[in-house]
Amino acid sequence: MSGLRVFRLGRLESAQLAAGALVALALSACGGGGGSDAAAVVATTPTATVPATTTPATTTPASSTSTSSVFCNYNASVLNPTLNITGTVNINCSGTQRVMTANGIPDHAIGTFPNAGNPNTVTVQAVTFTATLAPTAPTARATATNAMTVGYANNGIKFDPGTAESYRNAGVWRIEALNQTYFAFGVDSSNAHVQPGGAYHYHGVPTGYVARLNKGTALTLVGFATDGFPIYARYGYDTATSATSSVRLMRPSYRMKATPDAGRPATTEVPMGTFTQDYEYVANLGDLDECNGRTGVTPEFPAGIYHYYITDGYPYIQRCVKGG
């Protein structure tokens, strides 16, 4: 993200120092998130129907080289049942661009913030996200975006998978937000938490938003990446080019390394899976490329398009983009 600011959170940092972890907190730069580990905060269950006014997005089939007919006329206003604040999002297309404006309040219940692992409060944001309507063909060379916003969900919440936290504040061994026990990020059941500036953001599958879309195991379009290509949650067609094939969970092509890298902190202190460097990409190990994407057909793009997936396993949300 541009304009990186590092925040030291006195209370939480002191607790970590006392425990000997010596980990720097820079949650404004992290893509905060959470998994199903013990530190996760269970989202509050709404006690009443959530009032909402929504203008459905245009979903006319689009070509494989344009996203111009999808989410080009979308307006929603939803009362967040946890915060009692109305979240708003508007998505419109003009010329060659899709432009989103939103206030950063999610349209689903969230966990309790502040909490023991995250001392920040969700506040209204001024969100503006612009992406091309005609993304170029995916390139062979991926553009890394670790610790940066890689895109936005269609409810106005950013996808920010990486973190700026590192072992002993050395900036070398980057700590993952999800599925590790070394450091608690205070994430909720939607794999999200809050930056010091009040921005709620996703590190993994946006469970609450996916549930709200209520598509079960169908391919579920949840947002768009910074390069303009669409992002789907979890499920894809068994055969990428066939919409009549079965639907199943997409498998990332990353795995945990069998042997720790040279110079890595001892696994007895910091278990494998804690650091970004603990994972490696193996071409064709799963369904997806190094950016957690592939080319194929989707309900919104029956002619086929390159698209990304948010997966249950690492890298969760992609750490790079492929648009040229």
Q: Look up residue 7 and give its two tokens.
A: 């925040």
Q: Look up residue 289 and give its two tokens.
A: 């490329």
Mean predicted lDDT score pLDDT of the chain: 84
CB within 8 Å of 38: residues ≥ 6 apart: 181
Q: Which residue has the higher pLDDT, 51 or 233?
A: 233
How far is it, in rounded angstroms, from Cα 228 to Cα 321? 10
pLDDT (tens digit, 9 = 90+) per residue, 166-192? Answer: 999 899 999 999 999 999 999 999 999
Q: What is the average pLDDT across 69-97?
A: 95
Q: What is the average pLDDT across 234-256?
A: 98
pLDDT at position 130 over 80: yes
pLDDT at position 311 over 50: yes
Q: C-alpha angle 169/173/177, rounded to 5°?
A: 90
- What confidence score (pLDDT) does residue 54 get? 56
Q: What are phi and psi of 143, to 5 degrees?
A: -105, 115
How far is it, in rounded angstroms, from Cα 287 to Cα 28? 32
Task: Write down the pTM of the prediction.
Answer: 0.83
pLDDT (tens digit, 9 = 90+) per residue, 197-223? Answer: 999 999 999 999 999 999 999 999 999
Using CA atoms, how far residue 72 sits from 94, 179, 190, 293, 301, in Å, is 9, 35, 26, 23, 14
CB within 8 Å of 54: residues ≥ 6 apart: 74, 75, 76, 77, 78
How far is it, in rounded angstroms, from Cα 133 to Cα 227? 9
- What confidence score (pLDDT) does residue 137 get? 85
